[in-house]
Structures are given as structure tokens and as C-alpha cells.
Amino acid sequence: MSTLSTSELRRPVVAVSAMREFARGGFHGTTVADVAREARISPAYVFKLFPGKESLFVAALEMCFERIVAAISAGADDSADQSPDGVIDAMGLAYAELISDRTLLMLQVHAQSVADIAEVRQALRAGLGMVTRFAKTRSGASDEAIQHFIAYGQLCHLIVTTGIDDIPDDWALILAHGIRHTG
């Protein structure tokens, strides 16, 4: 049995703080000092744990996707209907509930906005791959159904971030039709 070092114990705590801070301010608007303040440690210690702002953002993004997979896994497990469609629907509802907090949602939105940074793009691809592979394996659904699942998730992001479901206009009703999420 090995014991974890203080650094190994602090990394996840700092990653959680990074998720919150990057979700609030984005990659460019958040400093390492902001994350350090949220984590109640010095910026120097953040740099001891993470070699740069990019690796800190990537750690936050990786944790974000791990939480997504955990949530959709629990949703799938709790579904009374274990058919592919039933599992996908349950995973979608679990995801919608998860992003009602907006931290994970906004972190993903900010990650997409800075996907031109190689490390972020790689982590975003890895996270999307992890979610897609999990959804496919766990549900047993067709590739087309998995594509729709991911596409609906992105549409849900758009609806939540812009408040489209609060607009009674015809175009907003079209986009929000059939999309369920917790507000």
C-alpha cells in the first residue's frame, strides 16, 4: 500500500478550484493567482503542481469529463428502461441535471473557445472521445443515436448559456422543443 504525497493529494483539490475559476473567467480571463486564491494556496505552489496555465486548465477539463462520465453512468444504471434508447435518454437527463450547476457547462464552452491551444484541443478531444465511447458501450445504441446524443448535448449547452428556453419566439421554441434540462 502506497501513501500519496502532499502534492498528489493537493492536485485534485487545485483542479476543482481551477474548474470553478476557469468556468467563471475562461482561459484568458483567469490567472493562476485566481486559482491559487480559490484553492487557498500560493501561486508558486500551483506552479509546483502544474507546470503552466495550460496544464492547469487541462487538469480541470479532464476532471470535468470524468464527472460527466460518472453522472451519465449513474443515470444509465438507474434507468428502468435498459434498452439503448432508454439508456441514452437516462444519460441525457443525468447530463442535463449535472450541468444545471453551470460550472462544468461553462468550462466546456470556454475550452471550445480556446481549442486552438494544442493542449486544450487534445484534452477536449480526449474528453469527447471518452464520453462518446462510454455512451456507445454502455447504451449499445447505434452510431447515429450516439451522434444525436452528443449533438443534443451541444444544443443543450446553447439553450442554457443563452437562455433560449425563456424566449417565447418561434425560432427559440423550435430550438428548445423536446430538450429537457434543469434550470
SS3 144: helix
Cα–Cα distance list, 147 to 29, 128, 154 (Å): 32, 11, 11
Q: Tell me, what DSSP letter sits at residue 115?
A: T
Report whether 114 contacts 123 (CB < 8 A). no
Instruction: Note the Cα 92 to chain centre separation in Å.
Output: 13
Q: Cell numbers at residue 102, please?
A: 453551470
Mean pLDDT of the chain: 92
Measured distance CA(31)–CA(62) in Å, rounded: 19
Biggest CA–CA distance in the chain, Å, is: 61
CATH architecture, range 6-176: Orthogonal Bundle (1.10)
pTM of the model: 0.89
User: What's the pLDDT score for residue 2?
Assistant: 59
Residue type, 169: D
pLDDT band at 99 (very low <50, low <70, confident <90, very high): confident
> Dihedral, CA atoms, 42, 28, 149, 101, nearest 10 degrees?
50
Tally Cβ neighbours within 10 Å of residue 47: 15
Domain residue ranges in the chain: 6-176
Given a cut of 60, whether residue 39 has pLDDT beyond it is yes
Look at 164 and 77; give whichever has higher pLDDT. 77
Q: Quick one: pLDDT at residue 1?
A: 57
- Nearest Cα to 90, choosing from 105, 112, 73, 104? 73
Cell numbers found for residue 143: 452510431
